[in-house]
Amino acid sequence: MCTSNRKLDNLSALILVGGYGTRLRPLTITRPKPLVEFANKPMVLHQIEALADAGVTQVILAVSYKAQDIEDKLKQEALKLGITLTFSHETEPLGTAGPLALVRNILEANNHPFFVLNADIICDFPFKDMLVFHQKHGKEGSIVVTKVNEPSKYGVVVCRENNLIERFVEKPQEFISNKINAGMYIFNPSIISRLQLRAMSLEKEIFPSMTEEGHLCAMELKGFWMDVGQPKDFLTGTCLYLASLQKISKLSSESKVGIIGNVLIDPSAKIGKDCVIGPDVTIGRNVIIEDGVRIKRSVLLQNVIVRQHAWLENCIIGWGSQIGRWARMEDAIFGEDVVVNDELYINGGQILPHKIISHSISQPQIMM
């Protein structure tokens, strides 16, 4: 669904990227979470590109941890997209509502609605549909909800028939709804009057009062959704994303490589003979994979080297890491610049950056 260009002029969006990314360690020890590549692209860039495609002209990033790294990386991307990228620096954590108050002068500069997003979600971003939905119901705020199979693990959203939100219930033990907050919002500038410049939660302090006043509606998301802020969900989100990408484009492959299922390979990667890759694998820029390697349901970030006849399954391998010959890796996540010696077995290890692994790990553990 689309709207006229006039309705999309001068739209702004705020992306909440200020956290330390502790759930995605050890990757986020050396890089801020928004710059961790998801499907060979910085995580936050997926959102920025989708916003630009929807006609958003100004994107504000609420930053704190490794803010300069984020700014240096994304400035050129913003120029390519033709948008204004503004960095709002938090000197102390402000939660999910405080960052809006910090940039109230920008968000109130025109009378248009604005988007607010959590930085670690991936989906078919429905920003054009969100705007149409929001303008149609005329309330102060709209949130996107998505259905889940096990609602007792989440805080659920209970809606009336007219899409007005009735209440939020945290981890219900009996079924009352299977819809949860998907971390994407659109608000009228009037919401700023509800906010204070302090650590403040949209979900706990702002949404309940908006719900009581009948000013918050829910739009159901169509298609896949995943919070990719921790390793297990990062891999699951990769599988969902690759499945959606398969529907609209042919994924990269090499004629000398056995490809199974959905696989995304950066054109700069070099892959030896007799390898079998897939399903659900992404291979990043300048990765080198030698002969006879088997990889499935894994993510290899930039500059990784996998030596001959290694086996990887359910792994995230950090930048510049090296996997030795005949090594077997399962359920492992490596930080940056980890070296695994030849013929080792790693089962469930979380390896911090700049480590050399010289012995097998047969039970899940964190290597300091």
Rounded distance between C-alpha atoms, residue 107 and residue 283, angstroms: 39
Same domain, 137 and 75: yes
pLDDT in tens, 107-123: 888 788 999 998 888 99
Same domain, 289 and 219: no
Q: Containing domain of residue 88, as a range?
A: 5-227
Contacts with 313 (C-beta within 8 Å, 6 or more apart), sequence order: 295, 296, 297, 298, 329, 330, 331
DSSP of 109-155, one letter per residue? SSSS-EEEEETTEEE---HHHHHHHHHHH--SEEEEEEE-S-GGGSE
Same domain, 127 and 276: no
Instruction: Please compute the mean of the pLDDT values over residues 111-139 and round it to a whole number.
Output: 90
Strands (E), 164-271: 165-170, 179-187, 216-220, 225-227, 258-259, 263-265, 270-271
Write the Ramachandran bin of 183: left for phi over 0, alpha for psi from -120 to 50, otherwise beta. left
Kindly state the DSSP code that residue 252 receives in the 8-state scheme. Answer: P
- Which two structure tokens, joined as six digits, stand for 166? 């009735």
Overall number of domains in the chain: 2
In a domain, 64, yes or no: yes
Kindly state the DSSP code that residue 335 receives in the 8-state scheme. Answer: -
Instruction: Please compute the mean of the pLDDT values over residues 1-9 and round it to a whole number.
Output: 41
Same domain, 75 and 158: yes
CATH number, residue 271:
2.160.10.10
Rounded distance between C-alpha atoms, residue 278 and residue 313, angstroms: 9
pLDDT in tens, 157-178: 888 888 899 888 877 777 778 8
The whole-number pLDDT of residue 247 equals 54
Instruction: Please compute the mean of the pLDDT values over residues 291-297 and round it to a whole number.
Output: 95
Residue reference for tokens 């349901």: 297
Q: Residues 186, 192, 193, CA angle at the centre, nearest 5°?
A: 135
In a domain, 233, yes or no: no
Q: Which of 172, 192, 227 is the C-terminal boundary of a domain?
A: 227
Same domain, 217 and 294: no
Same domain, 217 and 341: no
3 state SS of 48: helix
Same domain, 310 and 361: yes
User: Is residue 171 flagged as an active site residue?
Assistant: yes
Same domain, 116 and 172: yes
Kindly state the DSSP code that residue 31 receives in the 8-state scheme. Answer: S
Rounded distance between C-alpha atoms, residue 237 and residue 153, angstroms: 18
Contacts with 24 (C-beta within 8 Å, 6 or more apart), sequence order: 33, 36, 120, 229, 230, 231, 234
Exposure of 34 in the CB half-sphere (CA atoms within 13 A): 26
Q: Which residue has the higher pLDDT, 338 or 245?
A: 338
Active-site residue (options: 75, 147, 153, 171): 171
Question: Between the CA of residue 39 and those of 13, 42, 88, 234, 298, what are the distances in Å?
Answer: 23, 8, 27, 10, 11
In a domain, 242, yes or no: no
Instruction: Please compute the mean of the pLDDT values over residues 292-319 and round it to a whole number.
Output: 96
Rounded distance between C-alpha atoms, residue 291 and residue 276, angstroms: 10
Q: What angle do the packed helices 127-137 and 43-53 form, to 10 degrees?
A: 60
pLDDT in tens, 322-354: 999 999 999 999 999 999 999 999 998 788 999
Dihedral angle over CA of 263, 353, 325, 365, nearest 10: -90
Q: Which of 195, 212, 227 is the C-terminal boundary of a domain?
A: 227
Same domain, 268 and 337: yes
Confidence bin at 150 (pLDDT 50/70/90):
confident
In a domain, 267, yes or no: yes
- Which two structure tokens, joined as six digits, stand for 319? 């930048």
Same domain, 316 and 184: no
Among the residue ranges 142-156, 204-218, 280-294, the one predicted with the least confidence is: 142-156
Q: Which of 179, 212, 227 is the C-terminal boundary of a domain?
A: 227
Q: Which residue in 84, 73, 77, 70 sits closest to 13, CA to CA?
A: 84
Q: Which residue in 196, 60, 183 sits closest to 123, CA to CA?
A: 183
Same domain, 186 and 275: no
Confidence bin at 148 (pLDDT 50/70/90):
confident
Report whether 102 contacts 64 (CB < 8 A). Answer: no
In a domain, 261, yes or no: yes
In a domain, 238, yes or no: no
CATH number, residue 148:
3.90.550.10
- Strand-pairing partners, residue 170, are 155
Residue 154 has pLDDT above 80, yes or no: no
In a domain, 237, yes or no: no
In a domain, 46, yes or no: yes
Same domain, 211 and 271: no
Q: What angle do the packed helices 67-81 and 43-53 form, to 10 degrees?
A: 30
